[in-house]
Structure 1
């Protein structure tokens, strides 16, 4: 791929003078398979477990930072912009889901990471499923937040309508984060990648997962089927899937409800029952709606704490 002098110059300046963004993670660059890759990372001591956050369709990792930062004290954290997204360079040809999973593995190789927990939002969830299919020995656990790309989002005009409705349910500040990413990604890339997502066997790959998996849904997410359908799918798996519902959340939970999501992830990583976070007061509440038997049994909820969709 022909180098972009402006991007290369910026990358070299960033390497000499890494800046500390508001998120508290360090911005930096590397090169993977000839493509400049921009990423954010924490500075944990050696030996901390690795957690890598993968972004959604057309976006960069920027909107994942609110949740990633809350977890960065406990995990060696990476938030890359996958090739073709955000500030990273474009590959020589358009990537599909398997290509993006391979790119994520290449990024981890470049960082010397042999095993990680992957946290994905939206399109990042099929990428995680493909990563698990190709590199099962390298994945400790999976966190699938608002998994998208299945039949519920087809055809493209339906997905556009769903995204439009979701935009009105996200925090207003999300618009300033997402708009530059979508504009840079462009219409041709959007159409190509959407077609690739519709051909990807998301459900088949999900049912193949054999590692502890946390699925997090928002009850206001217009891109996903209802909790009953999610429970039906989860029940087909090999007792390792834990499904959690965040009331009041739409699709971009990593951005809109970072406290609740980070709390649920921490409990999942400890194999503890998922309960509401007392440190994140407000209208949002977190509930388990499905738990496989490989996890410890959930403690009963207090009277009046029924499970939505259960």
Structure 2
């Protein structure tokens, strides 16, 4: 396994960062709301045994440059990710989206299908709709004591870097983002990962996704919290790599 490197690509005038690990076919990891690449080290190291893992930082998150008032919407996040994939030449590529990143990768697969070869949505939020911000905060508060204590400081640093205003705008936009109608347009192989101890994701959410994407595969992770990529990195990596191997065998 090769060491970690940092790649910067200028997209829309903003230097956009990705942490790169491993060797093999590429896999892009898309973080959740306010999260940063440094929060995904545990899962990226596991995935890097078989893949070159690009942990992408959206604008204003992690080590990527931001701009006041941007991005304001989920669609803007998706458009920037699409432009980054075009600029780096990483397409078509499998995408692993965590939390809000799951919503972004679904959006991308529906609106930019030529950029995506497979999807892994890990504890995806905002689908088909999301509760009021206060309800989201309550659910996250319920989840926090279930996560590894060692995740607290990296998460706090990531949230401070993103800023409460940007996070609030994007969380609010989830109630307006029309992901539901986009889901039936997701044609690529899809894997859904769900933790049984995740208070953020409701059971009916996965049921709606599966109804809209009937070819989706679902894997439950017993005891899994919302930060599945940190609490169960080996399990997430195993399910992801097995799924991508099956996809590759099915297309060969």
TM-score by length of 2: 0.90
Contact 1:150–1:198 (CA under 8 A) maintained in structure 2: no
- 5+ residue gaps in structure 2? none
Instruction: Report the secondary structure of 1:99's partner residue.
Output: helix
**Structure whose alpha-carbon radius of gyration is higher:** 1
Question: How much does 1:209 deviate?
Answer: 1.2
Q: How many residues align?
A: 246
Contact 1:50–1:115 (CA under 8 A) maintained in structure 2: no
1:53 maps to 2:32: no
> Larger relative contact order (C-alpha < 8 A, sep ≥ 6)?
2
Question: How much does 1:231 deviate?
Answer: 5.5
Instruction: Report the secondary structure of 2:28's partner residue.
Output: strand
1:104-156 C-alpha deviation (Å, 9 max, x unpaired):
12222222222100001000011101111221022100000000024674111
Structure 1 pair 31–142 and aligned structure 2 pair: CA distance change class (3 A)? same
Instruction: Report the secondary structure of 2:184's partner residue.
Output: helix
| Among 215, 219, 234, the residue aligned to 1:244 | 219
Question: How much does 1:51 deviate?
Answer: 0.6
TM-score by length of 1: 0.74
Q: Cα RMSD over matched residues?
A: 2.0
1:256 maps to 2:237: no
Cα distance in 2, alignment partners of residues 257 and 209 from structure 1 = 27
Structure 1 pair 271–209 and aligned structure 2 pair: CA distance change class (3 A)? same
| Among 87, 102, 107, the residue aligned to 1:110 | 87
Structure 1 pair 67–204 and aligned structure 2 pair: CA distance change class (3 A)? same
Q: Which residue of 1 aligns with 2:158?
A: 181
- Per residue, is there more helix in 1 or in 2? 2
- 5+ residue gaps in structure 1? 1-22, 273-294, 296-310
1:40 maps to 2:19: yes
| Among 181, 185, 199, the residue aligned to 1:222 | 199
